[in-house]
Amino acid sequence: MKFQKIKTHPLNKCYSISQISHKGEECILVAAEKQDECFLFDLEGNLKDTIWDGPGGTMSMVRIPNKDSMFLATHKFYSPNDSKESKIVVVTYKADGDWDIQTLVDLPHVHRFDIISRNGVNYLFAATLCSGRDFKDDWAHKGKVYVAKLPDDLSGYNQNNQLKLNVIKDELLKNHGYFKGQQNGHGYSVIAAEDGVFKFVPPADENGEFEITQLLDTPASDITFLDFDQDGDLEMVVFSPFHGENLDVYKLKDGKYEHVYKHPKPFEFSHALWPVNNMAILGHRQGAQELISLACENGTFKFDVIDKGVGPANVYSYLKGGQRYVVSANRETDEIAWYKAEMPLDEIANEMRKCVIEGVYRAKSGHPGGSLSICDILAVLFFEQMNIDPKNPKNPDRDRFVLSKGHAAPALYSALATRGFFPASDIKTLRNIDSYLQGHPCMNKIPGVDMSTGSLGQGLSAANGMAMIAKHDKKDFRVYVVCGDGEIQEGQIWEAAMTAAHYKLDNLTLFVDVNGLQIDGPTTEVMGVGDVAKKFDAFGFNAISIDGHDLDQIRQAIETAKQTKGKPTAVICNTTKGKGVSYMENQLGFHGAAPNDKQYEIAMEELGGFKS
């Protein structure tokens, strides 16, 4: 994946990066290591606000689950305070436009902290580099790991009323590295220290104790976990020792992490580290001061230099409009930098699935199963094949798309949001009474929707009309329509099929989502549809059968349709209902049911999603 530097903003000794929701929109926070500002940017890197001018010393910033315009941050960690006065603060946006900052807890030498959750309980998790210093480079006093239940209402905390913390692990020195993960539907934290790497799992019962497991017994600095080889197990990427020059990768084998890769060159003053699916973004602050990407292809680790001579302190990555962005706090050049790369199509489809789960979960209703089964089809159409423009959604020469199985609206909304037709954060409003994103798509309210649908069987007729107009007006746009295998039990589908063949609508392509399940049961039991490809062939279509999750087969089917003259094309897509979420796959119950809290967490964990 190649990245292009697209924007910079000056900030002296920039360091910490995070993402929050502000006024309902996703934004990026970047704060300084010393006595300087904290800035708020939109996802395109435009400055929106200055949160504070000082005191700085911000090592970590963390969004608070389900809170808008509110986050936690460390203050006064670094010079001239030398971390003795460091604290965790609550930062809240006020109606008058100012940001209120109150002390949550004084915690000398705190460097990394986070909020992890299990069974509806949020825990503040914090680690200190040491527990005291007699002079600047004194490391004789080992640090500790602290935990506290985090109340939902933080408005009453201040310098005189602080959150009380409990020590769950002591005698750890230089607790600098941190990773937050998800497993079995709940969060966990990993701390990397001079004494090794330790995993902390919150209790199933809020009155229980954290489970602590040592993963490595060798010194470590920054760490992260990702699935380089896509085998379902996370590899561990480790810098060592403290701010050291070693970059190593460990693979989980028989329950233990074994060393599998050592970077051939010294990674001088290693620091920045962030996982991006099966790729790591890394940086170091001395020597060549590079920002690089590390991936594994066919068992061989390969790296690419994204930028050099910048000295990244921290990096962060996010998606917007079908593109991957990396924000780097280039500390040694005092600049915040944005880098952009085109996102692989499989990653786009996965991002769409996250949006489907997010929307249906927030709505507590909807149709996840049949939405997840068509995400790969929509990804190819909306990001590669269709002539569409989010900035001009009504362009008369655009290609058209009709979602005949309108109950799969979450998939369409996810494609449109990921493509940039409207903010992705609006997915959270799905089916709300005052939201424009209702249970079925509406062409009069939603940018990018070409036809209002919901009553099954009617979409192909509407698509026929669009294709006939294109023929009549000698326009080059093409028309794509998706229907379900349960939907083709409707008689109108076959009337429309005869019409499309009679008028030789070779500018129309129909995708049939054959996932085998409908609301009342398996299609074979409710009303068998037989050999779908042969049926459409008999009705005068060019019928093609494919794996509806194979991106190359979807691409080739579309190219074949474009080359076919004198008849419409029907692409029979064999798919898995609930694709991508293990407990939803081929499960009738998730045709029209939302995941509960635990199921939501498991789904987002499996999809690698961020829970907000």
Residues 6+ apart with CB under 8 A from 478: 386, 387, 399, 400, 470, 507, 508, 509, 562
What is the arithmetic mean of pLDDT over 389-404?
96
Burial class (CB within 10 angstroms; exposed 0-12, middle 13-18, buried 19+) of 108: buried
For 70, phi then psi, to 5°, come to -155, 135
The DSSP bridge partners found for residue 514 are: 574
For the stretch 364-394, pLDDT in tens is 999 999 999 999 999 999 999 999 999 899 9
**pLDDT, position 299:** 87
Cβ-based neighbour number of residue 519 at 10 Å = 13
Burial of residue 76, with CB atoms counted within 10 A of its CB: 0-12 exposed, 13-18 middle, 19 or more buried? buried
Residues with Cβ within 8 Å of residue 527, at least 6 apart in sequence = 489
The pLDDT tens digits of the residues spanning 170-229 come to 999 998 999 999 888 789 999 999 999 999 999 999 899 999 999 999 999 999 999 998
Averaged pLDDT, 251-258: 94
Q: Which of 594, 576, 595 is nearest to 586 (CA)?
A: 576
Residue 610 predicted with pLDDT over 50: no
Of 128-142, 303-317, 479-493, the poorest mean pLDDT is in: 128-142
- Left (φ > 0), alpha (ψ -120 to 50) or beta: where does 491 sit? alpha
pLDDT digits 0-9 by tens, 75-87:
999 766 578 899 9
- Give Cα separations from 140 to 135, 324, 378 (angstroms): 10, 43, 58
Q: How many residues does the chain have?
A: 612
Give strand pairing partners of 572. 512, 545
pLDDT digit string, tens, across residues 275-290: 988 899 999 999 999 9
* pLDDT at residue 403 is higher than 90: yes
- For 381, the token pair is 């159409």
Range from 124-133, 497-506, 595-604 that averages highest in pLDDT: 497-506
Would you say the C-alpha torsion 10, 15, 19, 20 has a positive or negative sign?
negative
Structure tokens at 242: 């403290």
Predicted local confidence at residue 387, as pLDDT:
97
* Whole-angstrom distance, CA of residue 29 vs CA of residue 11: 12
pLDDT surpasses 90 at 445: yes
User: What pLDDT was estimated at residue 612?
Assistant: 36
* Cβ neighbours around 277 below 10 Å, total: 20
pLDDT computed for residue 378 by the predictor = 98
Q: What does the pLDDT read at residue 81?
A: 57
Mean pLDDT lowest among 59-68, 78-87, 321-330, 550-559: 78-87
User: Strands (DSSP E) along 363-447, which ranges?
Assistant: 400-403
Q: Report pLDDT for 294.
A: 95
Tens-digit pLDDT profile for residues 583-593: 999 999 999 99
168: its two tokens? 């769950």
The three state secondary structure string of 114-125 is EEEEECCEEEEE
SS3 191: strand
| Percentage of the chain modeled with pLDDT above 90 | 85
CA distance 61 to 47: 18
Mean predicted confidence (pLDDT) in 50-70: 94
Is 117 a residue whose pLDDT tops 50? yes
Output the pLDDT for position 230. 81
Average pLDDT value over all residues in the chain: 94
Q: Which of 20-29, 132-141, 401-410, 507-516 has the lowest mean pLDDT?
A: 132-141
Q: By three-state DSSP, how is residue 200 classified?
A: strand
- Written as six digits, the tokens of 247 are 């970059």
Residue 606 — very low, low, confident or very high, per pLDDT cuts 50/70/90?
Answer: confident
The larger pLDDT score, comparing residue 335 to residue 140, is at: 335
In this predicted structure, the answer to whether residue 473 has a pLDDT above a threshold of 50 is: yes
Distance separating alpha carbons of residues 229 and 213, to the nearest angstrom: 24
Residue with tokens 């498991």: 602
Range scoring the smallest mean pLDDT among 425-434, 510-519, 531-540: 425-434
Q: What percent of the chain has pLDDT over 70?
A: 99
DSSP 127-165: EESEEE-SSTT---EEEEEEEEE--S--TT-BTTB----
State the average pLDDT over residues 351-363: 95
pLDDT of residue 20: 95
Alpha-carbon separation of residue 26 from 19, 22, 518, 589 (angstroms): 7, 6, 36, 33
Residue 611 has pLDDT above 50, yes or no: no
CB atoms within 10 A of CB 244: 19
Instruction: Look up the pTM and report it.
Output: 0.79
